[in-house]
Structure formats: structure tokens, C-alpha cells
């Protein structure tokens, strides 16, 4: 299932900027719900059929992790995965796969709940800073497990977990999911206080309930889990990805366009809608769709990231890209991840005027961005660079697609459908030998020069692309 792009470091996106995006699209499934739900199948006896699973490389890696533990994973057309974890025999997650996926520590709670023991490599640092797991480990301890670190792996042992109250010092998304997974088959009742309220946490809880768990309060700061003996198989549809939806709305907005995302509950994007309105964009939320119409030039505003329902840290790089073209000076404060401004130097290479002091970025709006060759350092920063390139004058080239493909399904195909001039090129030669695309205005020439895969292909034909 792993796609060419996992290894394809020379693959790049070429974007001819300056085209107004318009149209509508249906939002794919949420990565941050799909990954823990896939991990949760470890707790289920029988076949689990998951619909609206996004075709992204993180899902491929999680599928490989499950297979390496002994599960059977089958892909069906249209974003359906059939997972049978009844045959899982191993409680030891392989380092080679886990190290590729920050979210993979989420399987610890599921393995612990199933086997009474889990051995998972300790997550390393990532571009957003060190991935802390103290709240996860403290919670496992409160449930009666013991925690050891051996040869770089966390070994959590607890043959008889017993429910209790777990107060989280911060509403950590990962800790809430992991502890819910550990508690679902524990004896007695667990209460997670100061729990994360993100829709993806709610989706994991709803999935577990659909498989026989007893959980209440998901979406509130207090989640109550009454342990059950077993979970069964069944069918479930993953919620749409609000972060991907936000990306397309901002892609429309930054090009002065008119984009509608369909298929998701607009309240999931309430904070983004509020920010966009503050910049002068027209936002209409109706039923299960959100439409954003951008003004010709938008105004600056201030944004602070916060746990849900606050402004999501994952949309922070994208809103910074948008505000870099606003009239006036904006500030964006990042309160979740210390190191989440690493991409700002790449935006600056496109002409953005941004200074970062501590956890606040000051963005002095410029009238235009210019083309550049840039590198995506992580998924959402990659999305931000694509947005900047869509709005920039000239033709930009974006590398680091191994990050972008972790979280965006058929990104260039979907943007092309909205009117973007964007292609994915797979350079057969080292990229340094290519002509300077910044001087090339003709996208067709670039496509033929590199033998690029055209962007107009059917999404269904490019798994994981
Ligand atoms: C998840 C999302 C990520 C999103 C983030 C915040 C997935 C796969 N990833 O990441 O896209 O940006 O939520 O919405 O769902 N922390 C601790 N101790 C812990 C755990 C976390 O101090 O034990 C800190 C982290 O360092 C970070 C903050 O809490 O500063 C938030 O982390 P958390 O909510 O756990 O994020 P993730 O689950 O890693």
C-alpha cells in the first residue's frame, strides 16, 4: 500500500500562481481520526469495515504497523479499509515503522488494553519539537500499569487495569485517545478530566461505542468510560477532515476566489470562519457545507491557536500564509507547539514579511508574493507553501512532498479541479539539473520537460497520492 511518494524524495509540485480558485469539493476523511481508529481495531474481535479512510501515506504506515502485529488489512475501492485484528499476536511495535509516524504511539493504549502489555518505541523529536508523552504514561500508571524504558522502547505492563479518575494537566489529544483506548476494556469506570474535546477524539469514542464500548461525555472536558469485557467488529464511517477542509477554503481565499467545502459539520470550522470574517471574507455555513468568498484584498487580524474549539494549531501555518497578503499587520500566537514556525523562512523566500519572537509571529502584509523553490518541513507547513505558491506571481516549486502526502489526499488533483495550475513532477535526473522553473511561464513546457504526471487524473486511480 505504500505509495511511490514515500520514497520519492525527488518528487515535487510545480505551481503557476495567480489563478483564482473557484468551485466545490467533498472533504475526505480525517487523518487524525482514522489513525487512532485503525489502532483501536486491535481491541476488537472480528472484522472492522472503515469507510471514508483518507488515501494518505500515514494511513499506509498505520496499516503496515497493524499487519506487522499480525492483523489482516484489505483495501477496497473508494476509501474503505477492512481490518481484522483478531489475529494480532504481537504486542511489540516495530521501530522502523513507528518512527515514520508521530501518531503511532496511540497504539500503546490499544495493545495494553488487549494484551496487558505494550512495547512501543519512544517517539523521537519531530519538526514541531519533542513529542512529550508524560501525560500518557502518568495516565497508564493511574490505571494500574507499570512503565519502563528499555532499549529506547516504552514497556507498559498492566494485566488487570482498573478504572480511576485521570486528571490531565493539559487537554492533550494524544493522551486522551491513548487513555480512552487503555480504559475501554479495563475493570470499573475511568473518568478522564480536562480531556481534549477535538472532533477526532469524539470520533474515536463514537467508533468504540459502535463496537460495544460504554463511553459518555466525549466532546466535553470530562469523558467517562465504563469498562466492558469485549469489543466486537462492525462498520463505521470516519468524520471528514476539518484541517483539509480549512486548507481548501484558505486556498480559495488566498487566490481571491470562491470555494465551497461539502460534507462536514460547519461548527468544526467555527474558529476559522470567525477569523476569515474578521479579514473581510464572506463566509456562508449552511447544512453540511461552508463557502468562503474572498475580497480582492483582505485586512489583517490577530489569531491565537488553542485547543478545540479554539483556532487549530494545524491551520496556523496556513492562516499565516493568507495573512502575509493582508492589508496591515497581523499577529499569530502559537500556544500548542513551541517549534511550529519553522516554515516561516520558506515563506520569507517568497516575499512574505514575517518576524517571529518567541511564540508570536508578526506578519506585515505585502501586496504580492513571488515564486520560489521551497521545501515543506511538515504536513501543514507544506499546505501553507502550496497556498503561497497558488497566490504568488510566477511559477514555484515545492519539495518535501513526503510530508504533504502524509496528510493530503490527491492534493494537486483537487486543486486542479478548482482551477489551479499545479502538477507533480518526478524528476528522473537530480533536481539540480533541471531548468530554472522560476523563469518558465509555460506549465505545459514544464510538464513535458519532466514527464510529469498530469494533475487532472481521477483521484480514484492514484492510491495514496
Ligand atoms: C494531535 C494531532 C496534531 C495536532 C495536535 C493538537 C494527531 C495524529 N495529531 O497531536 O495534528 O496539532 O493534536 O491539536 O492527532 N503534551 C505534553 N505531554 C504529553 C502529551 C502532550 O506536554 O504527554 C503537550 C505537547 O508537547 C504539545 C501539547 O501538549 O505541546 C499538545 O499535544 P497533543 O494534544 O497531545 O497533540 P498530539 O496528540 O501529539
The domain defined by 11-28+241-449 folds into UDP-n-acetylglucosamine1-carboxyvinyl-transferase; Chain (3.65.10)
Which has more pLDDT, 102 or 445?
102
Top mutation candidate among 37, 125, 132 for ligand 1, by most atoms within 8 Å of CB: 132
Q: Is 97 in the pocket of ligand 1 (CB under 6 A)?
A: no
Q: Is 32 in the pocket of ligand 1 (CB under 6 A)?
A: yes
- Secondary structure class of 370 (helix, strand, coil): strand
Mean pLDDT of 381-392: 98
In angstroms, the CA 451 to CA 444 distance is 10
In angstroms, the CA 289 to CA 189 distance is 38
Shortest-distance atom of ligand 1 to CA 200: 15
Shortest-distance atom of ligand 1 to CA 307: 14
| 3-state SS string for 5-63 | HHHCCCEEEEEECCCCCEEEEECCECHHHHHHHHHHHHHEEEEEEEECCCCCHHHHHHH
Tell me whether the omega of the peptide bond preceding residue 309 falls within 30 degrees of 0, making it cis: yes
CA of 337 from ligand 1 middle (Å) equals 8
Could you tell me which CATH class the domain 31-237 is placed in?
alpha beta
In angstroms, the CA 59 to CA 63 distance is 6
Choose among 12, 37, 33, 61: nearest CA to 406.
61
The upper half-sphere exposure of residue 361, i.e. CA atoms within 13 Å in the direction of its Cβ, equals 32
Q: Fill in the DSSP letter of residue 141.
A: H
Q: Which of 1, 2, 117, 126 is catalytic?
A: 126
- Secondary structure class of 360 (helix, strand, coil): strand
**Residue 455 has what pLDDT?**
37
Which has more pLDDT, 78 or 438?
78
CA nearest ligand 1 atom 1, residue: 173
* DSSP notation for 374-396: EE--SHHHHHHHHHHHHHSBSEE
Mean pLDDT of 306-316: 98
7: left (phi over 0), alpha (psi -120 to 50) or beta: alpha
Q: Does residue 355 have a pLDDT over 80?
A: yes
CA nearest ligand 1 atom 31, residue: 172
Catalytic: 126? yes
Q: Does residue 376 have a pLDDT over 80?
A: yes
Mean pLDDT of 203-213: 98
**Residue 440 has what pLDDT?**
41
In order of 258, 292, 298, 428, the CA distances from 144 in angstroms are 53, 49, 54, 55
Using a cut of 0.75, tell me whether the model's pTM lies above it: yes
Q: For a pLDDT cut of 70, what percent of the chain falls above it?
A: 88
Q: Does residue 393 have a pLDDT over 80?
A: yes
Q: Which of the four pLDDT bands, split at 50, 70 and 90, describes residue 127?
A: low
Q: Which of the four pLDDT bands, split at 50, 70 and 90, describes residue 465?
A: very low
pLDDT tens across 245-294, in order? 999 999 999 999 999 999 999 999 999 999 999 999 999 999 999 999 99
Structure-block grid coordinates of residue 338: 513551541
- Secondary structure class of 358 (helix, strand, coil): coil
Q: Does residue 1 have a pLDDT over 50?
A: no
Q: Is 315 in the pocket of ligand 1 (CB under 6 A)?
A: no
Mean pLDDT of 29-41: 97
**Residue 131 has what pLDDT?**
73
**Residue 106 has what pLDDT?**
86
In angstroms, the CA 96 to CA 205 distance is 29
In order of 288, 346, 438, the CA distances from 424 in angstroms are 31, 19, 16
Domain with CATH 3.65.10.10 in the chain: 11-28+241-449, 31-237
In angstroms, the CA 285 to CA 279 distance is 17
Strand partners for 187? 162
In angstroms, the CA 269 to CA 240 distance is 11
CA of 134 from ligand 1 middle (Å) equals 11
**Residue 327 has what pLDDT?**
97
User: In which residue are the cell numbers 489583517 written?
Assistant: 300
Q: Does residue 446 have a pLDDT over 70?
A: no
Who's near 411: CB < 8 A, 6+ residues apart?
A: 13, 383, 386, 404, 405
pLDDT tens across 140-190, in order? 999 999 999 888 899 999 999 999 999 999 999 999 999 999 999 999 999
Q: Is 194 in the pocket of ligand 1 (CB under 6 A)?
A: no
**Residue 130 has what pLDDT?**
60
**Residue 129 has what pLDDT?**
57
Q: Is 169 in the pocket of ligand 1 (CB under 6 A)?
A: no
- Secondary structure class of 115 (helix, strand, coil): helix
Top mutation candidate among 29, 37, 172 for ligand 1, by most atoms within 8 Å of CB: 172
The per-residue pLDDT of the chain, averaged, comes to 89
Q: Which of the four pLDDT bands, split at 50, 70 and 90, describes residue 12?
A: very high
In angstroms, the CA 243 to CA 264 distance is 11
CA of 132 from ligand 1 middle (Å) equals 8
User: In which residue are the cell numbers 521501530 written?
Assistant: 95
Amino acid at each position: 500500500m505504500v505509495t511511490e511518494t514515500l520514497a520519492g524524495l525527488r518528487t515535487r509540485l510545480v505551481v503557476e500562481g495567480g489563478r483564482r480558485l473557484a468551485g466545490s469539493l467533498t472533504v475526505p476523511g480525517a487523518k487524525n481520526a482514522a489513525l487512532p481508529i485503525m489502532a483501536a481495531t486491535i481491541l476488537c474481535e472480528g472484522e472492522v469495515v472503515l469507510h471514508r479512510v483518507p488515501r494518505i501515506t500515514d494511513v499506509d504506515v498505520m496499516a503496515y504497523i497493524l499487519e506487522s502485529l499480525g492483523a489482516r488489512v484489505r483495501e477496497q475501492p473508494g476509501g474503505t479499509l477492512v481490518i481484522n485484528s483478531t489475529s494480532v499476536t504481537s504486542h511489540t511495535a516495530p521501530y522502523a515503522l513507528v518512527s515514520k509516524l508521530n501518531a503511532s504511539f496511540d497504539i500503546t493504549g490499544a495493545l495494553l488494553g488487549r494484551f496487558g502489555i505494550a512495547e512501543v518505541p519512544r517517539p523521537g523529536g519531530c519538526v514541531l519539537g519533542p513529542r512529550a508523552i508524560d501525560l500518557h504514561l502518568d495516565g497508564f500508571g493511574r490505571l494500574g500499569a507499570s512503565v519502563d524504558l528499555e532499549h529506547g522502547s516504552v514497556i507498559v505492563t498492566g494485566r488487570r487495569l482498573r478504572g480511576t479518575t485521570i486528571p490531565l494537566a493539559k487537554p492533550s489529544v494524544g493522551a486522551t485517545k491513548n487513555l480512552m483506548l487503555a480504559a475501554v476494556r479495563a475493570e470499573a469506570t475511568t473518568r478522564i478530566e480536562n480531556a481534549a474535546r477535538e472532533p477526532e477524539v469524539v470520533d474515536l469514542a463514537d467508533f468504540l461505542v459502535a463496537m460495544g464500548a460504554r463511553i459518555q461525555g466525549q466532546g466535553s472536558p470530562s469523558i467517562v468510560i465504563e469498562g466492558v469485557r469485549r469489543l466486537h467488529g462492525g462498520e463505521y464511517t470516519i468524520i471528514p477532515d476539518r484541517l483539509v477542509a480549512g486548507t481548501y477554503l484558505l486556498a480559495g481565499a488566498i487566490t481571491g476566489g470562491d470555494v465551497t467545502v461539502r460534507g462536514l459539520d460547519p461548527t468544526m470550522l467555527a474558529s476559522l470562519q470567525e477569523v476569515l470574517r474578521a479579514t473581510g471574507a464572506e463566509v456562508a455555513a449552511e447544512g453540511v457545507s461552508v463557502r468562503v468568498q474572498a475580497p480582492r484584498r483582505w485586512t489583517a487580524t490577530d489569531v491565537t491557536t488553542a485547543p478545540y474549539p479554539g483556532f487549530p494549531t494545524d491551520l496556523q501555518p496556513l492562516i499565516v500564509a493568507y495573512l502575509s497578503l493582508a492589508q496591515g499587520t497581523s499577529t499569530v500566537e502559537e500556544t500548542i507547539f513551541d517549534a511550529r514556525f519553522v516554515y516561516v523562512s520558506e515563506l520569507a523566500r517568497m516575499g512574505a514579511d514575517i518576524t517571529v519572537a518567541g511564540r508570536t509571529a508578526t506578519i506585515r502584509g505585502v501586496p504580492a508574493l513571488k515564486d520560489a523553490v521551497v521545501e515543506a518541513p511538515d504536513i501543514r507547513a507544506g499546505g501553507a507553501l502550496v497556498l503561497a505558491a497558488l497566490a504568488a506571481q510566477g511559477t514555484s516549486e515545492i519539495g518535501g512532498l513526503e510530508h504533504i502526502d502524509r496528510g493530503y489526499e490527491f492534493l494537486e488533483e483537487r486543486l486542479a479541479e478548482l482551477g489551479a495550475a499545479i502538477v507533480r513532477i518526478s524528476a528522473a535526473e537530480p533536481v539540480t539539473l533541471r531548468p530554472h522553473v522560476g523563469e518558465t511561464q509555460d506549465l505545459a513546457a514544464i510538464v513535458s520537460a519532466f514527464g510529469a504526471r498530469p494533475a487532472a487524473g481521477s483521484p480514484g486511480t492514484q492510491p495514496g497520492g
